[in-house]
Chain A
Amino acid sequence: MKRVVITGAGTINALGHDVAETLEAMREGRCGIAELDVRDADRLSVNIGAQVKGFSSEGLFNRQQMALYDRFTQFALVAAREAISQSGLTFAGELAHKTGAILGNSGGGMTTIDENYRSVYEEGKNRVHPFVVPKLMNNAAASHVSMEFNLKGPTFTVSSACASSNHAMAQAFQMVRTGMSPAMITGGSESMLCFGGVKAWEGMRVMSKSGCRPFSANRNGMVQGEGAGIFVFEELEHAKKRGAEILAEVVGFAMSSDASDIVMPSKQGAARAISGALKDARLNPEDVQYINAHGTGTAANDKTESAAVADVFGRHADEVMISSTKAMHGHLIGGTGAVELLACIMALRDGVVAPTINYEEPDPECALDVVPNEAREVQVEVALSNAFAFGGLNAVMALRRI
């Protein structure tokens, strides 16, 4: 088994257009949630979201590319450029043949779908642009990343709703660990903040109209975000040999399925994924100082997740810090685990634990150290990142300081 390290990180999300801006916002506990700026917002009953502001594709992509890139693909490319440039890798020959991009995504090109449904249904047009299909397909982002960086190895998209990114990263990790690939590009992206995307989520009645308050007794739902997080996972010796800067080590993962309900989470399913990741990484519960929670801010998730953590960690549950950064960057659905991995890297590398902001009232059903409202300086050696999706699909990653 090979050891796997992260040698590049990139992001764009409501907190910032790169990793530095995002981590600064997390340290300061800044909130990226604001009033939604989307067409026909007056017909939405949920009017808030964590949108990427001030993003323009002008100058980043040429006209031909822009005609092919939905917003979720653009986000993935911007984040991939940052991550791969930081890693210093260029892909040619053998390395190009073995390296691929495995990215998480849930909704595909929702903006493209939304705009084109409007034109055929609302405006009654009988013709759409020829690139609608290649723009909206879920694998568009992974394919364009592979094309831009000459990645000719295993490349595909993983779609498991809110756990997509964690499932994708777990798969990439496994490929590097088993020696299939010396490096993999992985993470995820999402952009559902368009009229149809928000409307669909409204229907579930789990969205908050006022804000995202994970673990707080007065929480009343999730708030959607958008963006991407992309990483370079590389075999340790490969990275060392070329003198690459190492951000953190990925030491384990586990996945599980609740096999019970399409939307209600299960404590057992979550607990099995958490304890499975510890076992895979050969860690004891006491080794873990920080957990980046799934922490959606819904009544159901936060109490179930707290109970699962209490079950797995026993007495150590009172010592472990657990925060949900979704209160800041919103829920990026298929991209969320990737952006949240940044909080784990910050804890391991910079010794700063991102807070759960908007924490107003303790909830006895979530009685853990949720790092309320202010970031904390603590040197973290081991961190976990939880993702528990609709459909009962769970994926947990374990990382270590290096």
Chain B
Amino acid sequence: MSDIKQKVVEIIAEQAVLEPSDVKMESTLEDLGIDSLGLVESIFAIEEAFDIQVPFNANDPQESDFDISDVASIVAGVEKLVKEQNS
């Protein structure tokens, strides 16, 4: 597991009060019991962990330039942002 993936899973697991091993790539936030407040907290934690800015507006999660449909898409989004940050 890449470091980024592992860290994102840890953050989501902490928010969901689950073990990281219980967070599957295909899990949705809803599956994990993360509500809108939990989501903005997770995004904050991700931003702090990777020193990135996640483009996310709670008014319009679908329109935001950051896919939160499942854990895999969040990991992919973070990987992209970290890559952009380093380039």
A221-B37 CB under 8 A given contacts A203-B44, A205-B43: no
Partner of B60, one of A203, A264, A299: A299
Partner of A204, one of B40, B60, B63: B40
For the complex, is B86 an interface residue (Cβ under 8 Å from A)? no
Stretch at the interface among B11-19, B51-59, B70-78: B51-59
Rounded to whole angstroms, the CA-CA distance of A172 and B57 in the bound complex is 38
For the complex, is B36 an interface residue (Cβ under 8 Å from A)? yes
| 30 A-B pairs in the complex with CB atoms less than 8 angstroms apart | A45-B53, A203-B40, A203-B44, A204-B40, A204-B58, A205-B40, A205-B43, A205-B56, A205-B57, A205-B58, A206-B57, A206-B58, A206-B59, A208-B57, A208-B59, A220-B57, A220-B59, A220-B60, A220-B63, A221-B58, A221-B59, A262-B37, A263-B36, A263-B37, A264-B36, A298-B59, A299-B58, A299-B59, A299-B60, A300-B59
For the complex, is A219 an interface residue (Cβ under 8 Å from B)? yes
What chain A residues lie within 8 Å of B43 (beta carbons)? 205
Rounded to whole angstroms, the CA-CA distance of A204 and B58 in the bound complex is 8
What chain A residues lie within 8 Å of B56 (beta carbons)? 205
What is the minimal beta-carbon distance from A316 to any residue of chain B, in angstroms? 29
Interface residues, chain B, CB within 8 Å of chain A? 36-37, 40, 43-44, 53, 56-60, 63
Q: How many A-B residue pairs have CB under 8 A?
A: 32
What chain A residues lie within 8 Å of B40 (beta carbons)? 203-205
What is the minimal beta-carbon distance from B39 to any residue of chain A, in angstroms? 9
What chain A residues lie within 8 Å of B60 (beta carbons)? 220, 299
What is the minimal beta-carbon distance from A186 to any residue of chain B, in angstroms? 32
A219-B37 CB under 8 A given contacts A45-B53, A203-B44: no
What is the minimal beta-carbon distance from B60 to any residue of chain A, in angstroms? 5
Rounded to whole angstroms, the CA-CA distance of A53 and B76 in the bound complex is 44
What is the minimal beta-carbon distance from A331 to any residue of chain B, in angstroms? 14
What chain B residues lie within 8 Å of A299 (beta carbons)? 58-60
What is the minimal beta-carbon distance from B69 to any residue of chain A, in angstroms? 17
What chain B residues lie within 8 Å of A263 (beta carbons)? 36-37
A213-253 at interface with B (beta carbon < 8 Å): 219-221
What is the minimal beta-carbon distance from B7 to any residue of chain A, in angstroms? 21
Contact B44 A219 (CB under 8 A): no
Rounded to whole angstroms, the CA-CA distance of A203 and B57 in the bound complex is 10
Rounded to whole angstroms, the CA-CA distance of A299 and B36 in the bound complex is 13
CB-nearest residue of chain A to B56: A205
Q: Which of B36, B44, B57, B59 counts the most chain A CB atoms within 10 A?
A: B59
Rounded to whole angstroms, the CA-CA distance of A22 and B53 in the bound complex is 38
Contact A219 B59 (CB under 8 A): yes
What is the minimal beta-carbon distance from A302 to any residue of chain B, in angstroms? 10
CB-nearest residue of chain A to B41: A203
What is the minimal beta-carbon distance from A5 to any residue of chain B, in angstroms? 39
Rounded to whole angstroms, the CA-CA distance of A204 and B36 in the bound complex is 10
Rounded to whole angstroms, the CA-CA distance of A204 and B37 in the bound complex is 9
CB-nearest residue of chain A to B58: A205
Rounded to whole angstroms, the CA-CA distance of A298 and B44 in the bound complex is 20
Rounded to whole angstroms, the CA-CA distance of A72 and B56 in the bound complex is 31
Rounded to whole angstroms, the CA-CA distance of A264 and B39 in the bound complex is 13
What is the minimal beta-carbon distance from B38 to any residue of chain A, in angstroms? 12
CB-nearest residue of chain A to B60: A220
In order of increasing CB-CB distance, the 4 nearest A-B pairs are: A205-B58, A299-B59, A221-B59, A220-B59
What chain B residues lie within 8 Å of A205 (beta carbons)? 40, 43, 56-58
What is the minimal beta-carbon distance from B63 to any residue of chain A, in angstroms? 7
A255-278 at interface with B (beta carbon < 8 Å): 262-264
What is the minimal beta-carbon distance from B46 to any residue of chain A, in angstroms? 13
